[in-house]
């Protein structure tokens, strides 16, 4: 599981072992939303990491089995899908 704030600080990306990732709107007060703003589904194994790609517009996530996906942060649409065996090896090393 990982956490990553957007460059603007208005969104938080979380990844999970349930094969999903989420974007949460960061509140201006003390109360966090009960549901995520966007849910990313499509990885076939747990999502071990993710971050925003230079702006708030896109995120990249990586799964333990080696898939790397790029998503639009506004609506959760997947825009690219890559595969590398190195992803799983790197996360296995660090975990």
Q: Residue 90: enclosing H or E segment and its boundaries? A: helix 85-94
Would you give per-residue pLDDT tens digits along the chain (95 residues)? 789 999 999 999 999 999 999 999 998 888 888 899 999 999 989 898 899 998 999 999 988 888 899 999 999 999 999 987 766 555 544 44
Exposure class string for 3-18: b at 16+ Cβ within 10 A, else e: ebebeeeebbbbbbee
> Distance between CA atoms of 65 and 56, rounded to whole angstroms?
26
| Number of other CB atoms surrounding residue 49 within 10 Å | 20
């Amino acid at each position: 599981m990982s956490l990553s704030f957007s460059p603007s600080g208005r969104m938080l990306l979380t990844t999970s072992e349930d094969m999903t990732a989420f974007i949460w709107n960061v509140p201006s007060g003390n109360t966090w939303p009960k549901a995520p703003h966007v849910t990313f589904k499509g990885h076939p194994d747990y999502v071990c990491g993710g971050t925003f790609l230079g702006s708030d517009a896109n995120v990249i996530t990586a799964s333990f089995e080696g898939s790397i996906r790029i998503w639009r942060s506004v609506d959760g649409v997947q825009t690219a899908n890559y595969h590398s065996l190195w992803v799983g090896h790197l996360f296995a090393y660090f975990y």
